[in-house]
A = this chain, B = another copy of it.
Amino acid sequence: MRFAFGSALWLYAASVKQKKRKTMSDTGVTVKKSEDFSEWYTEVVLKSGMAEYAPIKGCMIFREQSYAIWERIQEVFNRKIKETGHRNVYFPMFIPESFLKKEAEHFEGFVPEVAWVTQGGSTPLEEKLAIRPTSETIIYATFAKWIRSWRDLPIKINQWCNIVRWETKATKPFLRTREFLWQEGHTAHVTSEEAEKEVMDILGEYKDVMENYLAIPVLVGVKTENEKFAGALYTTTLEAMMPDGKALQMGTSHNLGQNFAKVFDINFIGEDEKEHRVWQTSWGISTRLIGALIMVHGDDRGLVVPPKVAPVQAVIVPITYKDADSIAILAKVKEIMEKLKAHCIATVLDDRPEYTPGWKFNEWELKGVPVRIEIGPRDLKQEQVTLARRDTYKKTTAKMTDAAQAVEKLLEEIQNNLYAKAKTALDEKTTTVQNYDAFKEILKSKGGFIKAAWCGRSECEEKIKEETGATIRLRPFEKEEPTANCVYCGEKAVEMVYFARSY
């Protein structure tokens, strides 16, 4: 068994898991995505080797497959932010209670789900310590130390770390767990305009990661006061639609205004030689993105990983029957591996003798590898390879000499097709309604995003949430004239917004 890539990934998982499986019903996905979405998700997550339940309530284990996707996301996003002058750092995960309390709204928002450390060794702590539910407070206490003059600005830092929120709702791997992984960016600027630009620049980078790497289309806009980050001036958000009609918040970029600067005294002497407060932003994406990837692209055979974030992009399965052709086939396979390697395609060769080709096909489909390359006696004779797409199951052939180019092209097509399919699904799951009856009817029949007119009052939003479970996911940047009065109160509407039930 060889790897074309140092970063190639899943073979180990394959060899570990597969060998104790007896039949495909043990190992394959037994539930249809369209029939029991929740159970399908659980099966895919566990059987494909993405995650394992942890022996601690509400926690999960990120197995090799999901962690490798996370590493790809890190690689892509790190490149983006480093190019724009952000620097990675690491702050302590312990936050004194007194820090968390400084910004009242922030504290109120997070305190119900904080895990507290109260004891070190056998000694009770003098002040209990929160495990970071987010790091604004500890980072900004330090910003206050670093910032003196306008020349010290902007500060643009980021950290990749674990986060703890003591969820009381039902947890689900990747989507809601008590501990998860994320990145959190924190910046401080001289002017409000600079902070606003940062918020939008990052939102744009997030959109690029989601749409062009994860192949998941998102709606972008602003959160309502009810839904914004606790302590922010406003929160911008990226929202995706899942196949069960529920929205998923994919990432948020907050304009913090001067709320934290005020309580942490982050002041600087400006060019005008007067004292000013900084303007701040914070923003984050988390391992939740992996949950979205599974839900949006997966199918009845398992995972489907978009090529641009796939740790293994192609798997070669030689079809040998221990006959005279075998040696010739395996020799060819090695040549092709070299070619794929030269094209930077992350490839695994599955030459395990103890499994049949059919078994291997199922296995790699379950794991979502975008392209399968088959080479059998007939392929050898015709100097071709057979290429099977994970997204459509379609098979084509390519000349052996062109194998790498053909795989490259196919990977691009798969990437584009996954996005296009997801975009169609998003559009199909977006409905504009004119009144509350239609609203409730759509929510009941198909869910999804419901675009409706809103008067701008929190009361209407809250009533709708109470009565239907749907919230305003976003107020879109692209404003449309309201097509009706407020969907709840019937008063004059100020804008069209997107409602949905959500994860």
Contact = CB atoms under 8 A, between A and B. Distances in A.
A83 interface: yes
A112 B123 CA distance: 9
Interface string A27-66: 0000000000000000000000000101110011111100
Contact of A89 (B61, B87, B111): B61
Interface string A132-163: 00000010011001101101100111000110
A16 B59 contact: no
A455 interface: no
A187 to B, nearest CB: 11
Nearest to A90: B62
A15 B96 CA distance: 30
A131 interface: yes
A116 interface: yes
Interface in A145-188: 145-146, 148-149, 151-152, 155-157, 161-162, 166, 168, 178-179, 181
Nearest to A64: B87
B120 A117 contact: no
B64 A16 contact: no
Contact of A93 (B63, B142, B162, B168): B162
Interface stretch (A6-14, A229-237, A466-474): A6-14
B20 A59 contact: no
Copies of this polypeptide in the complex: 2
B94 A59 contact: yes
A67 B94 contact: no
A15 B82 CA distance: 16
Nearest to A157: B64
Given A82-B7, A112-B122, A61 B152 contact: no
16 contacts: A3-B83, A12-B85, A12-B156, A19-B149, A20-B148, A55-B96, A56-B92, A62-B89, A62-B91, A64-B157, A70-B90, A93-B179, A116-B120, A118-B118, A119-B128, A121-B166
Given A62-B90, A116-B119, 20 more contacts: A9-B87, A16-B152, A52-B142, A54-B142, A55-B99, A56-B95, A61-B90, A61-B91, A64-B89, A67-B88, A67-B89, A67-B90, A68-B88, A94-B178, A114-B121, A115-B120, A116-B117, A116-B118, A116-B120, A119-B128
